Chain A
Amino acid sequence: MTAAAPIPDSALAREARSQADEPQSLVMRFARDEPLMMDCGAALAPWQLAYQTYGTLNEARSNAVLICHALTGDQHAANAHPVTGKPGWWSSFVGPGRPIDTDRFFVICANVIGGCMGSTGPASTDPETGRPYGLDFPLVTIRDMVRAQAMLVTKLGIDSLFCVAGGSMGGMQVLEWAALYPHRVFAAMPIAASARHSAQNIAFHEVGRQAVMADPDWRNGRYLEEDARPRKGLAVARMGAHVTYLSESALHRKFGRRLQERTAPTFSFDADFQIESYLRHQGITFVERFDANSYLYVTRAMDYFDLADEHGGKLADAFRGSPTRFFVMSFTSDWLFPTEESRAVVRALNAAGASVSFVEIESDKGHDAFLLDEPDMFAAARGFIDGAAAARGL
């Protein structure tokens, strides 16, 4: 089998590509003498983190909220996305009068290290070689992401964050923040998250990575120099992952077994069903904005995450003596990060004597519920944040 000739990049993909080094957002640059010390042993320098801010930092520098994004999210939490033009991924949660109220709080959202929207990652240009890093980029962990964010927050002149919040992989970062820098986190809100990535979740990620790497246009990770893109592999990875973010009842309600623009099956492998057409669309649009190697790195970071393992196998020890106020949230229909995973975190926090609240939100929308308009989630988050703000005198 010979590889097909590479398809030229669309204008959208060229735009996304240009975001990797020169993003349309704020960028914090760290020089050679400010390396990021990574879990794999690498000292990354120079490096940069792309970020956005919303609202105003108060004089006491006590009202900063750090938002941590999920696997394929980015720093554009509450503004229109520069590539897709779509609203920010958490614009219903973050903004004036929203649960994370930008009229009261100074909100920071950084793209993770290893990402492809302006933070140093495999799509960035390696200053040593002048080529994209590709697989020469060191393996990233959740803790590395958090260390990088902490260096950014320090450089912004903020010692202690009022709140660190995020869902899914963002929730993992929230837990890591609280474990690594307990005195820099007043309140922590991990949503639809877990203290470790389960075997099932690692399995799903591996299927996605294998799809990317099986694409002949992946070219051992050097596709950017060879002007190719593993579009099909990445789209398949995204399609598979997307199913895990939803629930059977949400899929059934939205699509059922309905046919797409036809009245009878074609007896072929065309996208006869609406769900097929929807998934293909999800795959194609994702490829336009996301780098395939970043997908490999960021999924790997989640796989490696095991907060208990970082603390001698005992999760409670990660939070021993923690002064942080925690609020853990899960969703009834989330089978990727089921409530039991959140309960394990709550149990550990209880055992550590930490201040913890927990709610399981009733929703049939699956894991993605934390990105959607869930009034119960908003109400609970608002209650927690307002209570914590009162305790901090904000």
Chain B
Amino acid sequence: MTAHQPPPLGSAGAAAPRKDHLLLAGIVEPGSRVLDVGCGDGALLALLRDRNGVDGRGIELERDNVASALARGLSVIQGDADTDLFDYPDDAFDYVVLSQTIQATRRPRAVLEEMLRIGRHAIVSFPNFGHWRVRVDLAVRGRMPVNENMPFSWYDTPNIHFCTIRDFVGLVEVVGARMERAWALDGQGEPVRLPLPWWAWNLLGEQGVFLLRRS
């Protein structure tokens, strides 16, 4: 499995796109319809619009983020993935993206099922709780990890459903989705390109990225 090479960066001076966003921009077909669930300030949607000519929509919980996304000229609804995906009709989008958000949902399984209902594809990325550093924190220090990918203490984190890459593969089987492609990203956000078995990805990947399809 290899990721598409993203097209070269555009205008100099603008903040460089995040590596994981560039990976997603390499996945999404040009001109498609995309719903970004938990879209933050709209950075990914703006990238997909500008690079891929995507017709993008977003859902975001934080009002300030919605305002930032509006200022980028994006269509974003202040709302909650756990409750507001039900409002969308079947097959409304080509891709439904859940970037770094599934661990903050109350019902990850229901959210994933809704994504697969309203989109032809679902793209999910999340911090991998099976990464070796997490395991070291737990096994050696006996504490929940706090690092740049997971910057919250256990008592004030929005992340209530952490999972590992292998856990997520299990959920994909439970909801009966087809796994089209998967990536493990290293600390720099670059895909691990070595042809490794799952257990090794689960150990080395700081993030997992999955492209799923309704089966």
Cβ of B71 and Cβ of A386 under 8 Å apart?
yes
Cβ of A357 and Cβ of B76 under 8 Å apart?
yes
Cβ of B63 and Cβ of A360 under 8 Å apart?
yes
Binds B, one of A243-251, A262-270, A300-308, A346-354: A346-354
In the bound complex, residues from chain B placing their C-beta under 8 Å from that of A355 are 57, 75
Q: How far is the CA of A351 from the CA of B76 in the complex (A)?
A: 15
Q: Does A390 contact B (CB under 8 A)?
A: yes
CB distance from B55 to the nearest CB of A (A): 8
Cβ of A351 and Cβ of B57 under 8 Å apart?
no
Q: Does B79 contact A (CB under 8 A)?
A: yes
Cβ of A384 and Cβ of B70 under 8 Å apart?
yes
Q: Does A380 contact B (CB under 8 A)?
A: yes
Interface centre among B70, B77, B79, B92 (most CB of A within 10 A): B70
In the bound complex, residues from chain B placing their C-beta under 8 Å from that of A361 are 63
CB distance from B3 to the nearest CB of A (A): 30
Please name the residue on chain B nearest to A380 by beta carbon: B67
Cβ of B70 and Cβ of A351 under 8 Å apart?
no
Q: How far is the CA of A107 from the CA of B173 in the complex (A)?
A: 56
Contact among B66, B89, B92 with A357 in the assembled complex (CB-CB below 8 Å): B66
Count of A interface residues, CB-CB < 8 Å: 26
Q: Does B148 contact A (CB under 8 A)?
A: no
Q: Does B87 contact A (CB under 8 A)?
A: yes
Q: How far is the CA of A350 from the CA of B93 in the complex (A)?
A: 11
Q: Does A359 contact B (CB under 8 A)?
A: yes
Contact among A351, A379, A388 with B67 in the assembled complex (CB-CB below 8 Å): A379
In the bound complex, residues from chain B placing their C-beta under 8 Å from that of A379 are 67
Cβ of A327 and Cβ of B70 under 8 Å apart?
yes
Q: Does B103 contact A (CB under 8 A)?
A: no
Cβ of A357 and Cβ of B77 under 8 Å apart?
yes
CB distance from B90 to the nearest CB of A (A): 11
Cβ of B67 and Cβ of A390 under 8 Å apart?
no
A interface footprint on B62-88 (CB within 8 Å = 1, 0 otherwise): 010011111111111111000000011
Q: How far is the CA of A379 from the CA of B71 in the complex (A)?
A: 9
Cβ of B63 and Cβ of A387 under 8 Å apart?
no
Q: Does A103 contact B (CB under 8 A)?
A: no
Cβ of B75 and Cβ of A359 under 8 Å apart?
no
CB distance from A104 to the nearest CB of B (A): 15
CB distance from B50 to the nearest CB of A (A): 12
In the bound complex, residues from chain B placing their C-beta under 8 Å from that of A380 are 63, 66-67, 70
Which B residues, 85 to 134, have Cβ-Cβ distances below 8 Å to chain A? Answer: 87-89, 92
Which A residues, 372 to 392, have Cβ-Cβ distances below 8 Å to chain B? Answer: 376, 379-380, 382-384, 386-388, 390-391
Contact among A327, A347, A387 with B72 in the assembled complex (CB-CB below 8 Å): A387
Please name the residue on chain A nearest to B63 by beta carbon: A359
Cβ of A383 and Cβ of B77 under 8 Å apart?
no
CB distance from A112 to the nearest CB of B (A): 29
Cβ of A360 and Cβ of B78 under 8 Å apart?
yes
Cβ of B66 and Cβ of A325 under 8 Å apart?
no
In the bound complex, residues from chain A placing their C-beta under 8 Å from that of B63 are 359-362, 376, 380
Which B residues, 165 to 194, have Cβ-Cβ distances below 8 Å to chain A? Answer: none
In the bound complex, residues from chain A placing their C-beta under 8 Å from that of B72 are 383, 387
Cβ of A356 and Cβ of B77 under 8 Å apart?
yes
Q: How far is the CA of A357 from the CA of B69 in the complex (A)?
A: 10
CB distance from A315 to the nearest CB of B (A): 12
Q: Does A223 contact B (CB under 8 A)?
A: no
Cβ of A387 and Cβ of B87 under 8 Å apart?
no
Cβ of A350 and Cβ of B87 under 8 Å apart?
yes
On whether A325 and B75 interact (CB within 8 A), knowing A347-B87, A351-B87, A351-B88, the answer reads yes
In the bound complex, residues from chain A placing their C-beta under 8 Å from that of B66 are 357-359, 380
Q: How far is the CA of A347 from the CA of B79 in the complex (A)?
A: 11
Please name the residue on chain A nearest to B92 by beta carbon: A353
Cβ of A391 and Cβ of B73 under 8 Å apart?
yes
Q: How far is the CA of A102 from the CA of B169 in the complex (A)?
A: 55
In the bound complex, residues from chain B placing their C-beta under 8 Å from that of A327 are 70
Q: How far is the CA of A351 from the CA of B92 in the complex (A)?
A: 8
Contact among B57, B70, B89 with A387 in the assembled complex (CB-CB below 8 Å): B70
CB distance from A58 to the nearest CB of B (A): 20
Query: Can you pick out 30 interface pairs between chain A and chain B where the beta carbons lie within 8 Å of each other?
Result: A347-B87, A350-B77, A350-B87, A350-B88, A350-B89, A351-B87, A351-B88, A353-B92, A355-B57, A356-B75, A357-B66, A357-B74, A357-B76, A357-B77, A358-B76, A358-B77, A359-B66, A359-B78, A360-B63, A360-B78, A376-B63, A376-B67, A383-B67, A383-B68, A383-B69, A386-B71, A387-B70, A387-B71, A387-B74, A391-B73
9 further A-B contacts with Cβ under 8 Å, apart from A346-B77, A359-B63, A383-B70, are: A350-B89, A351-B88, A357-B75, A358-B79, A359-B67, A359-B78, A376-B67, A383-B68, A388-B73
- Give me the interface of A with B, judged by CB distance under 8 Å: 325, 327, 346-347, 350-351, 353, 355-362, 376, 379-380, 382-384, 386-388, 390-391
Give the 10 A-B residue pairs with the shortest CB-CB distance, closest first. Answer: A387-B73, A383-B70, A383-B71, A358-B77, A347-B87, A355-B75, A380-B67, A359-B78, A384-B70, A357-B75
